[in-house]
Amino acid sequence: MPKAYVIARVTVTDPEAYAEYAKGATAAIRQYHGRPLVRGGAFEALEGDARPRNVVIEFDSMEQARRYYHSPEYQAAKAKRDGACMAEFVLVEGAE
């Protein structure tokens, strides 16, 4: 079964509120057995528009990633980031 990846591209507009979101999201990632592979760090735009914060979280399956994202724990954290950033989140199946 291929791995799955939650990929987020984020521009933070309210660092304090986003920090509260990050605390809850980190706890939910651990609870649902996600593995952060990328969290912020240096980046370089190769093509198109870039965002200054990029996150890649690995899960063992698409279903596990969906359980994480739709969980009450993550949704509570997500409510704290509403209005604190502009972001795109995608779920991508990895290659076998």
| CATH number reported for the structural domain that contains residue 29 in this entry | 3.30.70.100
Query: What is the tally of structural domains in the chain?
Result: 1
Write down the pLDDT at residue 1. Answer: 85
Of 51, 42, 34, nearest in space to 91 by CA: 34
**In the predicted model, is pLDDT for residue 63 greater than 90?**
yes
Q: Which domain holds residue 68?
A: 4-43+50-93
Tens of pLDDT, residue by residue over 67-92, are: 999 999 999 999 999 999 999 999 99
What is the pLDDT confidence band of residue 96, given thresholds at 50, 70 and 90?
A: confident
Write down the pLDDT at residue 8. Answer: 97
Burial of 25 (0-12, 13-18, 19+ CB in 10 A): buried
Tens of pLDDT, residue by residue over 48-62, are: 999 999 999 999 999
